[in-house]
């Protein structure tokens, strides 16, 4: 059967994509951010997922104010890049996985989550920036390392879905994946955030205390997050901080108890807090290497390997 081995949370700041596309990754301002994802890219290379489900939000690239689905699942064979502002990023067309996506659509809809099915959809920086941060830079005519199933969530126009609804959708997605007959290793991304506000009197708001508390609870106590009302996100994390509900879809697709593989947090990127976390499901007698073990093995120092053998390695880099 297919199974979700890990969840990845990542901000999707558009300026990070622009820095990568314009060769600025070695500039001190941007190096501080890109270096925080180097271990994650090593982890991803060793984990080698067969498919990635990426929860993100569209920024008026595929949809507009004329039509905004709450949850839109990409079931197409491919998804061309598009973007507002700077235009399409020079990244490859994203290959989909129509068979698994259609299976997820059927399972989740019959579980009473009313997804919109997208058989044609463009994808913007909300999805391609986290892909670059985790998969590394890929030339426009190259290939992303695995197929992707996009799940676009409306967090741009009121009312967005609740955190609880997102978490429960994650649960339904996990059930769907685990009922797919092929032996696929799947990872799921939650993207967006963390705290930021783009416009208005509070433009530039960043709340690191809130962000770090969110990451702590996401890792070890997600039930504390699922009932947070929209107003609390907006008050504490800024108007665009509501994007963080998308991380709860990722978290809902994981075990109740997970191993935190890696964490990175820094401020600012553009005017946004950058947060990143990798959470691995624990091995459950499948005979396959768990994502946490792969992560532990990817750290080369003997001292680290020894500690990893004793218990799951939790790494935190605090910016
Ligand atoms: Fe966004």
Q: What is the pLDDT of residues 173-214, one digit of tens each?
A: 999 999 999 999 999 999 999 999 999 999 999 999 999 999
* Ligand 1 centroid to residue 310 C-alpha, Å: 39
Task: Residue 114: give its domain's CATH number.
Answer: 3.40.830.10
Classify residue 16: in a domain, yes or no: yes
Interatomic CA distance for residues 279 and 259, integer angstroms: 6
Segment 77-81 shows an average pLDDT of 98
By percentage, how much of the chain surpasses pLDDT 90? 87
Quick check: 312 pLDDT over 80?
A: no
Specify whether the CB–CB gap between 301 and 280 falls below 8 A: no
Segment 52-68 shows an average pLDDT of 96
Classify residue 296: in a domain, yes or no: no
* Ligand 1 centroid to residue 86 C-alpha, Å: 15
Q: How many domains does the chain have?
A: 1
Quick check: 87 pLDDT over 60?
A: yes
* Ligand 1 centroid to residue 147 C-alpha, Å: 22
Quick check: 56 pLDDT over 70?
A: yes
- Residue 76's domain comprises 3-281
Classify residue 308: in a domain, yes or no: no
Distances (CA, A) of 271 to 152, 234, 240: 23, 16, 11
Residues identified as active-site: 125, 196
* Confidence (pLDDT) at 84: 77
Classify residue 277: in a domain, yes or no: yes
3-state secondary structure of 95: strand
Classify residue 153: in a domain, yes or no: yes
Neighbouring-strand partners of residue 116: 72
């Amino acid at each position: 059967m297919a199974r979700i081995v890990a969840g990845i949370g990542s901000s999707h700041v558009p300026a990070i994509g622009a820095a990568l596309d314009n060769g600025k990754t070695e500039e001190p301002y941007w190096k501080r951010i890109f270096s925080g994802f180097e271990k994650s890219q090593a982890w991803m290379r060793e984990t080698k997922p067969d498919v990635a489900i990426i929860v993100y939000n569209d920024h008026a690239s595929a949809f507009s104010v004329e039509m905004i689905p709450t949850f839109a699942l990409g079931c197409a064979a491919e998804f061309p890049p598009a973007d507002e502002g700077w235009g399409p990023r020079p990244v490859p067309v994203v290959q989909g996985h129509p068979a698994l996506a259609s299976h997820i659509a059927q399972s989740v809809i019959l579980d009473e989550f009313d997804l919109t099915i997208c058989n044609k959809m463009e994808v913007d920086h909300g999805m391609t920036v986290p892909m670059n941060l985790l998969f590394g830079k890929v030339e426009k005519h190259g290939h992303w390392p695995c197929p992707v199933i996009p799940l676009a969530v409306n967090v741009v126009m009121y009312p967005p879905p609740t955190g609880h609804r997102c978490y429960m959708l994650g649960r339904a997605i996990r059930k769907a994946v685990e009922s797919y007959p092929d032996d696929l290793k799947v990872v799921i991304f939650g993207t967006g955030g963390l705290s930021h506000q783009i416009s208005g009197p509070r433009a530039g708001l960043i709340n690191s205390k809130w962000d770090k508390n969110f990451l702590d609870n996401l890792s070890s106590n997600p039930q504390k997050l699922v009932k947070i009302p929209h107003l609390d996100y907006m008050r504490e994390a800024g108007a665009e901080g509501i994007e963080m509900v998308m991380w709860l879809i990722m978290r809902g697709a994981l075990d109740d108890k997970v191993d935190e593989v890696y964490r990175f947090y820094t401020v600012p990127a553009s005017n946004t807090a950058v947060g990143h976390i990798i959470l691995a499901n624990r091995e459950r007698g499948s005979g396959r290497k768990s994502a946490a073990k792969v992560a532990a093995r990817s750290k080369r120092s003997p001292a680290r390997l020894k500690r990893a053998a004793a218990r799951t390695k939790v790494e935190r880099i605090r910016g």
